[in-house]
Amino acid sequence: MVIASELREGTVIRVEGQIYKVLEVESKAGAAKMGGVVKTKLINVRSSRMWEPHFRPQERLEELQLDRRMMEFLYVDGDNCTFMYPDTFEQVEIPSAILGVAKIFLQPGMELPVEFFEGEAISVVFPPVAEARVASTAAASHGQQDNAWKEAVLENGLAIRVPLFIAPGENVRVDTRIGRYVERARAERKRIA
């Protein structure tokens, strides 16, 4: 059991028989006779539906213990992604809905932690930020000075908004949870000896 005020991003809980992963947590202190509140953003690990419940800070929730194993991504087949245990070569199909937006960043051979609950894969842990190359960008419209963003399509097919200075061929860093531009990727500088 965990109390609501101790919830952290990535915690997995069971509420009303459904299993949820905590995506965001915000605690607000109460004033005078008003009690505080813990605002959360949860995702149902089976249906991928979002839910934003509020809990009382001292409310007890059932925390679930997960088994985390490193697996190698092989390929996407329809609505499933196939992962393999590197040591036994056993393959596991995981519904694409579980991966969300991050699915587009998968590369064959990539090793990622997969979280299991009672033998069922419920989550794939991606790094919070991934790099991708910009394939094309829309022409910057100079009609609105306050709009410093333009549309861009990455080589993996994801359409995002980037600052005006980003050009095709550049690498950008993208938040894998929501598919949003973070920053321009820094090129490794070679030392000349």
CA distances, 27 to each of 3, 6, 16, 22, 44 (Å)? 12, 9, 22, 13, 21
Structural domains of the chain, ranges and CATH numbers in brackets = 2-63 (2.30.30.30), 67-124 (2.40.50.140), 129-184 (2.40.50.140)
Residue 178 pLDDT > 90, yes or no?
no
Q: Could you read off the pLDDT of 91-114 as tens digits, one per residue?
A: 999 888 778 778 888 888 999 999
Residue 182 pLDDT > 50, yes or no?
yes
Residue 190 pLDDT > 50, yes or no?
no
The predicted model gives 36-49 an average pLDDT of 84
Enter the pTM of the model: 0.71
Q: Which residues are CB-contacts of 151 (< 8 A; sequence separation ≥ 6)?
A: 137, 138, 159, 160, 161, 162
Question: ∠ at Cα 184 (183, 185), nearest 5°?
Answer: 110
Query: What's the pLDDT at 147?
Result: 66
Residue 45 pLDDT > 60, yes or no?
yes
Q: Which helix (H) or strand (E) holds 99?
A: helix 96-99
Query: What's the pLDDT at 145?
Result: 55
Residue 70 pLDDT > 90, yes or no?
yes
Nearest CA to 130 out of 84, 95, 180 is that of: 180
Query: What's the pLDDT at 192?
Result: 45
Q: Which residues are CB-contacts of 36 (< 8 A; sequence separation ≥ 6)?
A: 5, 27, 28, 29, 30, 56, 57
Question: Hey, how many other C-beta atoms are within 10 angstroms of the C-beta on 139?
Answer: 7
Q: Could you read off the pLDDT of 10-33 as tens digits, one per residue?
A: 888 998 888 888 888 988 877 666
Question: Confidence band (pLDDT; 50, 70, 90) for 154?
Answer: very high
Higher-confidence residue of 145 and 81: namely 81
- Both tokens of residue 7? 């919830």
CA distances, 19 to each of 3, 29, 100, 177, 183 (Å)? 16, 27, 16, 19, 33
Question: Confidence band (pLDDT; 50, 70, 90) for 74?
Answer: very high
User: DSSP for 125-145?
Assistant: ---SEEEEEEEEEPPPP-S-T
Residue 189 pLDDT > 60, yes or no?
no
Query: What's the pLDDT at 193?
Result: 42
Residue 191 pLDDT > 50, yes or no?
no
The predicted model gives 139-150 an average pLDDT of 68
